[in-house]
Amino acid sequence: MGKRLRMCAVVAAAVLSSGAASAQSGFPSRPVHIYVPYPAGGAVDVLARTLGDAVSRQWGQGVVVENRPGAGGVVASQALAAAAPDGYTLIVVASGHATNPFLYEKLPYDTLKDFTPISLLASSPNILLVKADSPFKTLADLIAQARAKPGSLAYGHAGNGTSTHLAGELLKNLAKIDINPIPYKGGAPAINDLLGGQIPMSFNNGPESVGQLAAGSVRALAVTTASRASFLPDVPSMSETVPGYDTEVWWGLLGPTGMPPDLVEKLSHDFVVALNTDAVKQRLGKLGASPIGSSPTAFDAKIRADYDKWGPIIKGAGMKAE
């Protein structure tokens, strides 16, 4: 009798497993919702909508992009953490997702446990900008001035704890200089004050910088990645002047925790295919972003690496969310 019960259990498990696999092979059978933690029109929103269009053509099923801004991504991430792990609710996050635990006193979720990494989608360097007529021609010029007159220079950034704020703090840390961070409500207002002469420099991401660079109103002193950016080949990398400097803004796709592994693999595969279409690559190129399309494991490792890297810097600088 015991053997018969065990056999029934095995058969039942096989049937359930087969049913789950069958259900996932038919995914999606209804529209998939992708949360964007920021307002419409920004880099994350453009990326989500561009990829949403591409995967919807693969699936023959609609993709609905929902903008849920607030608290540096916390509002949308909290909504995702509460969603069913069936693949029908996803989110495109920026690199701030890994650093929010150090900026907020308490989050309504666990950054490392309450989500399923699917793919690291794309990245872009941040760019150190000065006005076109700035006396600073190189990063070395700027560093020399900062050392000669500590505290005399300020840099604009998109808000406390953003990747552009972290880029400035990393420069302070590695170059051993004293420059003052000036927070703005986004990168565009920082550029406006840079153009108006209120600040001498600003860290901005690629998508919000390319238009101003093309217009000739600003000059790029350096990109923040370890090597030069393909869309700005004549602009030095920060590491050419400050050894060891390397940071970027990245965007990735997450689901709620508890998603079936084969569904995660399917989603990762399908979004990587979308990233490699000509239309998506061309759109990202115009934004100054590079497609990546990593495995779920590699994206998980990236989140954890940034968590470990930036935690001490954020704590050391006393950064708190606005």
Query: pLDDT tens, 32-42?
Result: 999 999 888 77
Nearest CA to 206 out of 299, 303, 134, 123 is that of 123
CATH topology of domain 126-240: D-Maltodextrin-Binding Protein; domain 2 (3.40.190)
| DSSP conformation class of 251 | E
The answer on pLDDT for 157 being more than 60 is yes
Q: Any idea what the Cα angle at residue 299 is, between residues 122 and 42, rounded to 5°?
A: 35
Domain coordinates of the chain in residue numbers? 32-124+249-317, 126-240
Give CA angle at 230 (225, 232), nearest 5°. 80
- Of 82, 137, 140, the closest CA to residue 108 belongs to 82
Averaged pLDDT of the chain: 90
pLDDT digits (tens, 9 = 90+) for 237-249: 999 999 999 999 9
Other beta carbons within 10 angstroms of residue 294's beta carbon come to 21
Please name the residue that has the structure tokens 């996803």. 90
The token duo for 212 is: 């101003």
**Please, which residues bridge with residue 93 across strands?**
252
Overall CATH class of domain 32-124+249-317? alpha beta
Query: What's residue 72's pLDDT?
Result: 85
Strands 32-36 and 63-67: parallel
Per DSSP (E only), the strands in the chain are 32-36, 63-67, 89-94, 115-124, 126-131, 153-157, 179-183, 201-205, 218-223, 249-256, 290-291
Q: Judge whether 263 and 118 are in contact, CB under 8 Å.
A: no
Share of the chain above pLDDT 70, in %: 92
Decide if 32-124+249-317 and 126-240 have a common fold. Answer: yes
Q: What would the two tokens of residue 150 be?
A: 């500590």
Model pLDDT for residues 44-102, shown as the tens digit of each residue: 888 999 999 999 999 999 999 999 988 889 999 999 999 999 999 999 999 999 999 99
SS3 237: strand
User: And the tokens for 41?
Assistant: 């029109």
Global pTM exceeds 0.75: yes
> Model confidence over 271-301: pLDDT tens digits?
999 999 999 999 998 888 899 999 999 999 9
Predicted local confidence at residue 24, as pLDDT: 58
In the predicted structure, residue 139 carries a pLDDT above the cut 60: yes
pLDDT digits (tens, 9 = 90+) for 97-121: 999 999 998 999 999 999 999 999 9
Q: Cα separation of 153 and 167, whole Å? A: 15
Give CA–CA dist 223/127, Å, rounded. Answer: 5
Three-class SS state of 307: helix
Assigned token pair, 273: 């295919």
DSSP E strands, 166-299: 179-183, 201-205, 218-223, 249-256, 290-291
